[in-house]
Structure 1
Amino acid sequence: MTESNRIEYKRELNDGLEKEIVAFLNYHDGGVIYIGIDKAGKVAGVRDADAVQLAVKDRIKNNIQPSAMGLFDVILEQRGGKQVIKVILASGPEKPYYLRKYGMSGKGCFMRLGSASEPMPSSMIEELFARRTRNSLTRIRSPRQDLTFAQLKIYYEEAGLALNDKFASNLELLTEEGAYNYAAYLLADENGNSTQVAKYAGEDRVDLIDSKEYGYCCLVKTCKRVLERLEDVENHVHTQITSRERINTPLWSPVALREAVINAIVHNNYCAELVPKFEIFNDRMEITSAAIIHPGKEQEDFFSGYSMPRNKTLMRVFKDLGMVEFLGSGMPRILKAYPREQFTFVSQFVRLSMPMDEAGRVGGQVTGQVTGQVTGQVAKLIAVLQVPMSRKEMMNTLGLRGRDNFEKLYLRPALSEGYIEYTLPDKPNSRLQQYRLTEKGRAALASSKPN
C-alpha cells in the first residue's frame, strides 16, 4: 500500500496530525491516517497504543474547528504482529475546517491534493464558508425547550458511560446561543417525531394488514423498538432438519437488516420534517429514508461508505451506545447480502428493497399463495399447521419467541376467523392442548397448492 488522496502514513504521532485531519475533513471523500507506518509503507508500530488513541481523540476534539465530533473513528489494528492506529475521517458537512490556533486562514485551512495536504487558497476558504451548511440539526432550534433526557441517560449508563451536568454541551445538543437544538429534540424523552412500520397482504400497498407508529420518545428508544419489531417479530426463521444438520434460514439477513434500519434512522433528513418508513410485503421489505444522493460520484461514495454523515450528533450518540461500530462500516455489511441494484434513489428519498429469502419463507410458495385468501400471519400459520401442533411447536416452526405477539397476531385471528380449532375444545387451557386446521383452513391450504 502507498499513500494516496485518501491514505496518509505517519511513523509516529507528531505535530502534523491536525493538518492532515483538517485536509481530510475538507476533502469530498474524507480519508484514513495510519499512525505506526512510515512513508514507504513499512510497519513500525506504536508504543502504548492506548495512550496514542486517547491523544489523537483529544487533539481532534480540542484543536480543530468546527467540531469534528461524530466525523471520526480511532481504531487499533494489528499489522505484522505490531500495533497500528487507524484514524478514519469522514468528509465534514461544515467546511472549511481549520486549526483552532490559526483560525479560518491560509495557515489554518488545508486541502488534500494527491497524497499531500496543502494550504487552502483564500478564495476557496471564502467560497466554502459562504456555502457552509446552516440547515443542520445542531443549528436548528428545538421547537420545545422544556426537554428532559432520562431515557438517554439510562442508555449511556447501560453502555458503561455517564452523562454529567455538561452533557448537552459535550454532545453538541445546544445551538450557538445556548438553546436546545433539533438533535436534542430528537433525543429527548418526549418529542413529535415518529416512524411507521406497515405490513401489507400482497406485493403492493392496496391491502394494509397492520400499521404502527414508533416514536414520540428518544430516537434511540424508537430505533430499538423498530429493531425489536422487525428482528424478533417479523424476521421469521425457517428450520430445515437434514440427516447431518439443522439449517435455520431467516427471511432477511439479520446483520444487513440491523444495519439498514440504523442507517435509515441515523442518517434521515429530519431537517425536511420527513421520517423513515419501514414496509413489509409478502415478498420483500422496503426501508425508505429521506436523503438526496445525486447520481455519479455521490452514489459511488454512498455505496463505498465514504458519504458525509448527515447527522453527526446522532451518529456520535449511536456510536457511544455501541449501536454503530465505526464510520463506513454499515454499507459494506448491507451490500454483502443485498447488491446495490436493490437501492433506489428518487426525489428526496433513498429506498432499499430487501427480498425475502426463498428458503426462509415459511411453507415456501404455499404461504404466499394462501396470503391472497387469508392475509398475513394467519396465512403463515395455516401453511405450517398441516398436522396438529401445540402452541410451542407452532412458535418454534415459525421461528417466533414472543408468546404475546404470537397469540395476538397469529393464534387468535386464526381461531376467530375459523381457519383453525382446538383439539380439546372443552379444555382450552389444557397443557395437552393442540391446534388443527378446520375444513375452512384445509380448503384454503388445498386451493393454494399448485396443480
Structure 2
Amino acid sequence: MFSGQLPSNTGTINRIIIGQDNFFLVHSLCSGGRTIALPESKDRELKISVSKSFLKTVSAYANYRTGSIIFGMADDGTIVGLPDIDKDCLRVEHMIHDSIDPRPRYTIEVDSRSGTMTLTVFEGPDKPYLYEGKAYIRNDSSTIEAGPLELKRLVLAGKHMSFDQLPADNQKMEFGSLKQRLHDRLGVDRFDRNTLRTLGLADADGQLVNAAALLSDSNPFPGIDIMRFGESTSEILERARIGGCSVLDQLDRTIGIAERNYTFEKVTATTRERSERLPLDALRETLADAIAHRAWDMLATITVAMHPDRVVVTSPGSLPSGIEREAYLAGGLSVPRNPTLATVMFRLGYIELFGSGVPRIREAYPEGELPPRFDVLDASIRVTLPTFGSHPATTVEEKAVLNALPTGMLMSRKQIANACDMSLSTTGRLLASLEQKNLVERSGRGRGTKYSRRA
C-alpha cells in the first residue's frame, strides 16, 4: 500500500472531461492536507507520467471492470505532478481515441494545483476493447494480455450472449430425463421441438444450444468428481465421478451419495426417525448453484470433497462480471452466468433467480452450529458445509481473540492485538488459525485488511 501527503492548499479540480463529449464541470477532489491511501489494485493504477503503457490498462478496465489511472504520482505514493497538465490531458484523450477500438467511455479529472490527473475508464458493453489488436485484463495490480479463453468470453459478452446460448456441437440429443422431470414437476405431457424452443434450448434457427446439451441424457461436458475421506486426505474411502448424463441426474446422484454417508436412523421403542449429520438442503442448493452458475467453457469438474466434519464443493469459474464478492455474500442480486440453463432449473424448482442461494444455505444451519463458509477465489468458488456438532477446539488465546471481536464488527489486526494485549505477530498467527477453523472472516488486503467474527 502506498500513501501520499497532499499540499495543504489543494482540493479543487478545475475541469472534468467526459469521454468524447468534452463536458466541463467543477468538482471537489479532496480536502487540503489529508493523507490518501493509494494502493495499486485491480481498479487503481499509479503513473508518474503519460506513456503508451497506460493504454493496456484502459483496455483492461473497459473489458472487465471500471477503474482509474492516476497520473503525476510515483509508485511510492509521492505526488510529483505533471509538468504540463493541459498538454498531457489532451494527449491522453488523443491516445485513447487513436489506439483503443472501439472507443471506451471515460472521464478525466484534473487537479491543477497538485498537478495530478485521474483517468477513470468505465466497463463498456461493446467488448472486446482492443489496444493494437489485443485485449487486456487486470491480474491483481498488473495488466496482462487476455488469453484465448478470456477473449472468447469477451466476444460473447459483446454480442450479449452466454456460452450456454451457443449452438451445440452435436445436434443429436435425447431428453428422457428432462421430459420426465417436466412431467413430474410441472405436469407437462407434450415434449417436442416447440417445447425446446419455449425453454430456450433451441435457437431461432431451430439449433439446439449448449444448455440443451447439458440437460440431455448424454453430453461431453465435465461432470462432478466426488471423494470421501477418512480422518485425513490420505485416507480415501470412496471415489466417484459422475458425468456423461444430464446435469440434473448428476445432482441427484451426488445427493444420494451424501445421503448415504451423512444420514442415519434413530430408533426408539416405538419410532424410527431419520436424522441428518449434514443439512442436505444446503448441499442440494450448493450443488444446484454450482451447476447453474459455473463456467462451462472450462474443462474442469465440480469437485465434492466429503470429510467427517464437512463437505467442500468447488465450482469452476469465479463470480461473473457485474457482481462483487460482498453482493454475492449478501444475496439479493442475481447475475446468472448461464441464463438459459438457470431459467430451466428455476422452472423445475432447483434454484431461485433472486440471488437467494447464499442466504438459503446459511438458513439451513440452526443457531449455535458452525456456519457455512464461502470463498471467492480467482478461478473458482468454494463452499464449505460443516456437519452438525463439528465445532473446532479453540485454545485459551484463540478464545481471547474471539471475545475481542464482537459479531458484525470489523477490526484491524492492530486493534485486536491492543484489545487482547498481544503482539502483532501472535495476533496474526491466532487469526490465521481461527480463519482456518471458519470462526473468523477476513476482508480487504494489505493495510486495509479487517477481521470479523462469523455469526
Quickly name the TM-score band, shorter chain normalised. 0.3 to 0.5
Highest relative contact order (Cα 8 Å, sep 6+), 1 or 2? 1
The structure whose residues are more often helix, as a share, is 1
